[in-house]
Structure 1
Amino acid sequence: MVSEQSAAFDQIGRRYDESFVERDAQLAEGAWLIEQLGRPARVLDLGCGSGLPTAKQLLDAGIEVVGTDESAVMLELAEAQAPGGTYLQRDLRELSDLGEFDAAVAFFSLLMLTRSDIPPLLRQLREQLRGPRLLLIAMVLGDFDRFPISFLGVPTEVCAYPPDDLRKVLSDADFETVELREVAAEAEPNRIEVQIYLRAKAE
Structure 2
Amino acid sequence: MSDWDEAYAAYRGPDGGGISDRTGQAEAFDAIGGRYDEAFPHKEGQVTAVTRLLAELPPKARVLDVGCGTGVPTARQLVAAGHRVVGVDLSEGMLELARVNVPEAEFHQRDLATLRVGGPEGLGHFDGITCFFTLLMLPRSEIPYALRQFHQLLKPGGALALSMVEADLDDAEIPFMSHFIRVSGYLREELSQVVREAGFEILAEDLHSYAPARADAPPEHQLFLNCRRT
Distance in structure 1 (CA, Å) of the matches to 2:157 and 2:102: 24
Cα offset for 1:40?
Answer: 2.0
**Equivalent-residue separation in structure 1 for 2:41 and 2:108 (angstroms):** 27
Matches for 1:134-145 after TM superposition, within 5 Å: 134-145=159-170
Match of 2:29 in 1: 9
C-alpha deviations, 1:74-117, integer Å up to 9, x for none?
00000001111110011111211110001111001110111111
Paired residue type of 2:205: L
Whole-Å Cα distance in 2 between the matches of residues 176 and 14 of structure 1?
34
Q: Is the 8 A contact 1:103 1:132 kept in 2?
A: no
1:73 paired residue among 59, 69, 93: 93
For the Cα contact (< 8 Å) 2:132–2:162, is it kept in 1? yes
Q: Secondary structure at the match of 2:183?
A: strand
Length, aligned pairs only: 203
**Match in the other structure for 1:197:** 224
CA distance in 1, matches of 2:98, 2:75: 8
Paired residue type of 1:187: P
Normalising by structure 1, we get a TM-score of 0.95
Asked if structure 2 preserves the Cα contact closer than 8 Å seen for 1:152 and 1:188, the reply is no
Distance 2:148 2:53 in 1: 21
Report the more deviating stretch, 155-164 or 120-129.
120-129
Structure with max Cα Rg: 2
Query: Any stretches of 5+ residues in structure 2 without a counterpart?
Result: 1-20, 117-121
* Deviation per residue, 1:52-95 (Å, 9 max, x gap): 10001101111111100011100000000111111001111121
CA distance in 1, matches of 2:101, 2:44: 18
- 2:187 pairs, out of 149, 162, 169, with 162
Match of 1:64 in 2: 84
Displacement of 1:7 after TM fit?
0.6
- Answer with 65-74 or 185-194: which moved more: 185-194
- Whole-angstrom distance in 1 between the partners of 2:43 and 2:23: 27
| 2:67 corresponding residue in structure 1 | 47
Secondary structure (helix, strand or coil) at the match of 1:40 reads coil
8 Å CA contact 2:85, 2:106 repeated in 1: yes
Contact 1:21-1:189 within 8 A present in 2 as well:
no
- Aligned pair 1:119/2:144, yes or no? yes
RMSD: 1.4
Per the alignment, residue 104 of structure 1 pairs with 129
- Of 121-130 and 51-60, more deviation after overlay is shown by 121-130
TM normalised by structure 2 equals: 0.84
Percent of aligned positions with the same letter in both sequences?
A: 40
Give distance in 2, aligned partners of 1:93 and 1:27: 24
Separation in 2, partners of 1:173, 1:35:
23
Q: Which sections of structure 1, spanning at least 5 residues, go unmatched?
A: none
**Which amino acid is 2:167 matched to?**
G
1: CA distance, partners of 2:22 / 2:210: 30
Does the 8 A contact of 1:105 with 1:137 survive in 2? yes
